[in-house]
Amino acid sequence: MFFLLTLLLFFFYTYICIGQNLNNNQLIPFIHETIATQPVRTDPDDPAIWIHPTQPELSLIIATDKIARIGGLYIFDLDGKILQHIENIDRPNNVDVEYGFKINETYSIDLVVLTERLQERLRIFSININQRQLYELTGQNTNVFIDSSDNHAAPMGLGLYKRIDDGKIYAIISRKSGPNHNYLGQYELIWNEQLIDLKFIRYFGDFQGEEIESIVVDDQLGFVYYSDESYGIRKYNVDPQTNQTEQISFINTTNLWQGDSEGLALYTTSDTNGYLIITDQIINGSIFHIYERQGTNSYIKSIKTRADKTDGIEVTSSSLNKNFPHGLLIVMNTIEKNFLLYDWRNIENELIIVQNNVRFR
């Protein structure tokens, strides 16, 4: 009886703690990274992951380094070793990967797309699978926000969307500064004379905070999430064919978090379930808040790291190698100018503790 009571008290206490996690640093579990990549030259920003189609241990991490011309795009292997550095990009910002862009009836390629802020355009690459190197496919017509100027025309955040129905691929792009309505642009990627151009589709999305950078798309469920920094995370329908342009829901981050709400990523456990991860940007200790991917995106748990002032993050649930059998979380680390790779199993353990408590209740 006493034992049972103690157990009940323990779980009640844990339940209270979960409710207060967002505010109480002490209760947030600390997770160690498994790998730190080699440093980039100037100022790291945003990572993406490309999963090799047949040998997942040969997958690549692709990340931006922000200073114009001398930073660029870096390609790392899963041990964090630099395999390729593409220079001469005029202020690279965010990067994303999408699979299976159809160039004709029989042939498709994987894409790596990034925002080139000072040229007010996108740069588009594909991957040579045998050489594990990028090659460029940027067409003549990849400028964005062409009816605006200065910061309102300067692309920053980027998320790629592949529509399940017909395989069309779109880029959702945010800018350095913009209006309170229609802050984001959506463009379709079009194959044109062996290169890739953009076709403007629409503007959408409200804005209230400091700026909008991070964007993540849930291809299967048809949603886009973005960080309206220091304000909250907004969720919209991503498929323009639905004609649904109103905000679906909102995660309020005002006053609740220690830092800015930054990088977003989705860890999928099935076609419909998984986790939405949101970065709380903190000096020498960025925190990652984990929400449900499905339903109304309920809060589950937070984890703490040593990562410094993290902007961009990426996550995959693909089994990669012996270090990352359940996938990995990769986060930007300012002070060391690199990226930290976290074994998902360590995060999963923390999520299992919460889920067991909920079940017990």
Ligand X SMILES: *[C@@H]1O[C@H](CO)[C@@H](O)[C@H](O)[C@H]1NC(C)=O
216-245 positions binding ligand X, by CB under 6 A: 241-243
Alpha-carbon span 70 to 66, nearest angstrom? 8
Alpha-carbon span 237 to 170, nearest angstrom? 13
For residue 252, the minimal CB distance to ligand X (Å) is 4
Alpha-carbon span 142 to 124, nearest angstrom? 9
20 lies in the site for ligand X, by CB under 6 A: no
For residue 243, the minimal CB distance to ligand X (Å) is 4
* Closest C-alpha among 292, 166, 178 to residue 225: 292
For residue 260, the minimal CB distance to ligand X (Å) is 15
88 lies in the site for ligand X, by CB under 6 A: no
Choice from 54, 88, 106, 298 touching ligand X (CB under 6 A)? 106
92-100, 101-109, 180-188, 342-350 -> range binding ligand X (CB under 6 A): 101-109
Return the number of the residue (9 or 103) whose C-beta is nearest ligand X.
Answer: 103
Q: Map residues 322-351 to x or -, x wherever contact with ligand X holds by CB under 6 A.
A: -------------x----------------
247 lies in the site for ligand X, by CB under 6 A: no
Tokens at 296, concatenated: 């109304």
Choice from 25, 128, 284, 349 touching ligand X (CB under 6 A)? 284
For residue 247, the minimal CB distance to ligand X (Å) is 10
Return the number of the residue (286 or 316) whose C-beta is nearest ligand X.
Answer: 286
Return the number of the residue (212 or 320) whose C-beta is nearest ligand X.
Answer: 212
Count of residues touching ligand X (by CB under 6 A): 14
* Residues comprising the chain, all counted: 361
Alpha-carbon span 168 to 93, nearest angstrom? 24
What is the Rg, in whole angstroms, of the alpha carbon atoms belonging to the chain? 20
Choice from 8, 9, 164, 283 touching ligand X (CB under 6 A)? 283
For residue 68, the minimal CB distance to ligand X (Å) is 27
Alpha-carbon span 311 to 281, nearest angstrom? 7
For residue 209, the minimal CB distance to ligand X (Å) is 10
- Residues contributing to the site for ligand X (CB under 6 A): 103-107, 241-243, 252, 254-255, 283-284, 335
